[in-house]
Structure 1
Amino acid sequence: MTFTLPDHWVWDFWFARDGDTHHMYFLQAPTSLGDPDLRHRNATVGHATSTDLRTWTVHGTVLRPSGGDAPDATATWTGSVVREAQTWRMFYTGSRFLDPVAHANVETVLAASASEPGAWTKDASVVVAADPRWYETLGDGTWHEQAWRDPWVFADPAGDGWHMLVTARALGDGERDTGVIGHARSADLSRWEVSPPLSVPGAGFAHLEVPQLVQIDGRWALIFSCDSAHLAGARTGERGGIWAVALDDPLGPYPVDRAVLVASEKLYSGRITQDAAGRDVMLAFENIGTDGAFVGALSDPLPVRWENDRLIVEEIAA
């Protein structure tokens, strides 16, 4: 059963697992806005739980924008959740639009914590921003936003602290083809040091959204999304959607130039998790309907598997 809300669009989402319970956090905005393009300026984070990834209980809103001059003044966007000892930590995107009409927007990674994954308190001490030594910023005047969003946080496989992957753009001279996977490191999930990107520009993507590092059947993969409108360079004119690339090393470098499309952009923001039987599945938000309009609902789980070095999403194999 597809996840929908009666009076809201839903789109990007992320999971936290607590025993047999899947906690899902999702972006939501009221359909009363009329125009789905306005959802980005009006996004809050909702919460739902399930034991089978199909039937969900909705628990309401857990994060809202802070207003004023805060980094999340306008909206709260996509993130991820990790658990350290008895504390749950959510890293999310704070969005601050500088004008009520223009697209100028500064994105910053922020954090919240909870003793259980349903009641979150923002942690104002955690602010992770794009470092102009390696990343394009709004002040460069080359792009309509300061891209630094969709943090995916994971523990170092060797036990050496934590890593954060971020949707970012490398320094350039205004080229579209500078989308990269940004990187930051931390020993304690509080103090973060921004590092050079883990991929190189020129791979055909103006942005690599909602990145996820995941291990499937013992093999590492990077999952991300890029729509047709933001394909660049040699990929210009191709169709976009959800992409995947097999990795030799989970800590990079990431060869995103070899990424292949695993689902067309009728689905977007694919996330891989395991169902109750331990099977790897992908969920995504339903993006474009048969009439070409935005849908704003979440899919049921779709089985995934490897076919040589290519990730296959069953039922929508590219």
Structure 2
Amino acid sequence: MSFTLADHWVWDFWHADDGDTHHLFYLHAPKSLGDPNLRHRNALVGHATSTDLTTWDDHGVVLEPGEADSFDGSATWTGSVVRGDDGVWNMFYTGSRFLSPDAITNVETVGRAVSSDLASWTKQSNQIPADPRWYETLPDGTWHEEAWRDPWIHRDSTGLWHMLLTARARPGAGRDSGVIGHATSPDLEQWTMQPPLSEPGAGFAHIEVVQLVTIDGRHVLLFSCDTGHLAGTRQAEGAPGGIWALPLESDSLEGTLDTAAAVRLTNDDLYAGRAVQTRSGQWVLLAFENVDRDGTFISGISDPLPLSWAPDGSLTLSTARAKVNA
């Protein structure tokens, strides 16, 4: 296991590369809470750096919840980091606000923070909530949360910025309503809500931690859905969840993404996978160590695992630790 903390659980993460150093931003919560399920209500964003994606120097907390009544009043959740044309780093992250200490009901909203050095971050005043024209929200009363999280930022060939999110469709297909939310921006500040990039009914109650990446000239969408949140036929047949990959003909995000055709890369033992390119050009997957064979939560981020394309055009993952020149 590559990155762990002795007294904190570590799970979802994202990555930025400044050209010299790999930067890891990760969710963590104290093990003193006792129950690992409570980590979601107490998540902070930490920062670590590495030159080889294996040995990490931890720098502690860089983003934490706001005031109790704010959009991120309970916890700061998963996001992504991109650099704008002005050289400023932008972190788009999930703000979580739980409405009761005794229920899992919560509202998720995307926030933004900026930094000049990837170490010190300043929250911005504008937030990006789910648009009820297309997305299920808490007042619909059909799901325990208002799902609008895990923003992944992608820039297309025209310079337009796209935000891809974990969301649920409205109207949806009951449990089987997981879709990829979508918003666009010309400048990373002003965002326009768009209809979902995928359709409900693909077998996922949620499509989490989306990443759109180009690996060796081929485009692929990575996302996660655990066994407990599969839906439709997948759920009925007792299929396992994990990290999924969907090869794409283009990264232009035109047309509907067929998430039903995604192929599973891992079981639930690894989750929230991120494809990262090393200094030598090798592509590897980092993921958090999710559960053991008994379903017990583990915590910590894996060593790099090699990614490659199979002859049939599918993305494959080696479980052997990569020897990388990161």
Q: What's the TM-score, normalizing by structure 1?
A: 0.97
- Per the alignment, residue 205 of structure 1 pairs with 204
Per-residue displacement from partner, 1:73-123 (whole Å, max 9, x unpaired)? 000000000001320000000000000110110000000000111110000
The answer as to 2:149 corresponding to 1:152 is no
Superposed displacement of residue 173, structure 1:
5.9
Superposed displacement of residue 20, structure 1:
2.2
- Per the alignment, residue 292 of structure 1 pairs with 295
CA distance in 1, matches of 2:157, 2:104: 38
SS of the residue corresponding to residue 260 of structure 2 reads: helix
CA distance in 1, matches of 2:192, 2:14: 24
SS of the residue corresponding to residue 198 of structure 2 reads: coil
CA distance in 2, matches of 1:143, 1:292: 24
- Per the alignment, residue 302 of structure 1 pairs with 305
Q: More displaced, 250-259 or 233-242?
A: 250-259
- Per the alignment, residue 273 of structure 1 pairs with 276
Which structure has the highest strand share of the two?
1
Superposed displacement of residue 196, structure 1:
0.1
- Per the alignment, residue 116 of structure 2 pairs with 115
Superposed displacement of residue 158, structure 1:
2.4
Per-residue displacement from partner, 1:3-42 (whole Å, max 9, x unpaired)? 1001000000000101120010000000000100000000
CA distance in 1, matches of 2:161, 2:109: 18
- Per the alignment, residue 65 of structure 2 pairs with 65
Q: Which amino acid aligns with 2:220?
A: A
CA distance in 2, matches of 1:105, 1:48: 28
Q: Which amino acid aligns with 1:20?
A: D
**18 and 315 in structure 1: CA distance in 2 versus 1, 3 angstrom threshold:** same
Per-residue displacement from partner, 1:229-282 (whole Å, max 9, x unpaired)? 100011112100000011112214211010010011100000001112110000
SS of the residue corresponding to residue 128 of structure 1 reads: coil
Per-residue displacement from partner, 1:287-310 (whole Å, max 9, x unpaired)? 002442100110000000111221
1:64-213 aligned within 5 A: 64-84=64-84, 85-124=86-125, 126-159=126-159, 161-172=160-171, 175-213=174-212
Q: More displaced, 284-293 or 146-155?
A: 284-293
**55 and 173 in structure 1: CA distance in 2 versus 1, 3 angstrom threshold:** closer
Contact 2:13–2:78 (8 Å) recurs in 1: yes
- Per the alignment, residue 324 of structure 2 pairs with none
- Per the alignment, residue 11 of structure 2 pairs with 11
Superposed displacement of residue 187, structure 1:
0.9
Runs of 4+ in structure 1 over 6 Å off: none
**Cα RMSD (Å):** 1.1
Q: What's the TM-score, normalizing by structure 2?
A: 0.94
Contact 2:80–2:152 (8 Å) recurs in 1: yes
Per-residue displacement from partner, 1:198-236 (whole Å, max 9, x unpaired)? 000100000000000000110111000000010001111
- Per the alignment, residue 235 of structure 1 pairs with 234
Q: How many residues align?
A: 314
The answer for unaligned runs of 5 or more in structure 2 is 321-326
Contact 2:172–2:200 (8 Å) recurs in 1: no
Q: Percent identity?
A: 60
Superposed displacement of residue 172, structure 1:
2.9
- Per the alignment, residue 47 of structure 2 pairs with 47
